[in-house]
Amino acid sequence: MFYEPRRRNHGLPHNPLKAIVAPRPIGWISTLSADGVANLAPYSFFNLVSETPDIVMFSSHGLKDTVRNVMATGEFVCNLPTLELMEAVNLSSKPIPPGESEFDLAELERAPSRLVKPPRVAAAPCALECVWIETTELRDRHGATTGRHITYGEVIGVHVDEAYVEDGRLRTDRMRSLARCGYFDYAWVETLRSVPRPT
Ligand SMILES: Cc1cc2nc3c(=O)[nH]c(=O)nc-3n(C[C@H](O)[C@H](O)[C@H](O)COP(=O)(O)O)c2cc1C
């Protein structure tokens, strides 16, 4: 099969793109509103895009509450979900009024962050405390605006549950780190194979 995205000529009932670029990590992003309400939402257009300095990004389709909060407060936390948190992740994507908290909706315990104000998800084994760098609206190849907003943040603090550290290495497989695939599909890490790079 070959198709051109703008022509949507894949002939399938649903766009397969997100099943092709899969799995994608999930940034489960906690923020505080200007009024101090704790917001939490999953973003799978999310990734680590630089190490030293450590920089993450996520893309919002429209200016959602998460982006508004980051722009208002300059801080966010990327919680990294695991298989046991899958239902809570999904529930926290529900659109609710800005005055309500997805932490309460999904019955998630908050844990304090060390260097930023938004709380962490206590049950997430890893979390990245971030300071906002910038938010830019994506343009397409013709220079037209898209309504997709990319937010970059620098990681200034990292939480790791040491229960998953063995022989000095973090066991992503034992954590069962959660990822997003296409449609309504999730995946999780079960197997690792270490292949040293050629010299
Ligand atoms: C697993 C998963 C991944 C998602 N990824 C994104 C994403 O990358 N960008 C986006 O705009 N919405 C994404 N969504 C939808 C948002 O989570 C949803 O619109 C949410 O209500 C936004 O919350 P907020 O307004 O509090 O930021 C995703 C939903 C799920 C379940």
Question: How far is CA 44 from each of CA 112, 167, 178, rounded to the nearest angstrom?
Answer: 24, 30, 10
**By alpha-carbon position, which residue is closest to atom 17 of ligand 1?**
93
- As to burial, measured by CB atoms within 10 angstroms (0-12 exposed, 13-18 middle, 19+ buried), residue 187 is middle
Could you give the domains of the chain?
A: 28-188 (2.30.110.10)
pLDDT above 90 covers a percentage of the chain that reads 99
Q: How confident is the model at residue 98 (pLDDT cuts 50, 70, 90)?
A: confident
Structural tokens at position 69? 């909060």
In this predicted model, what pLDDT tens digit does every residue of 99-111 receive, in sequence order?
A: 999 999 999 999 9
Question: Which residues' Cβ are closer than 6 Å to ligand 1?
Answer: 26, 39, 41-45, 59-61, 64-66, 89-90, 93, 95, 180
Cα 180 versus chain centre, distance = 10
Q: How confident is the model at residue 2 (pLDDT cuts 50, 70, 90)?
A: very high
Q: What is the mean pLDDT of residues 42-49?
A: 98
Q: How far is Cα 29 from Cα 90, in angstroms, rounded to an integer?
A: 13
Give the residue from 20, 18, 95, 90 showing the smallest Cα distance to 62: 95
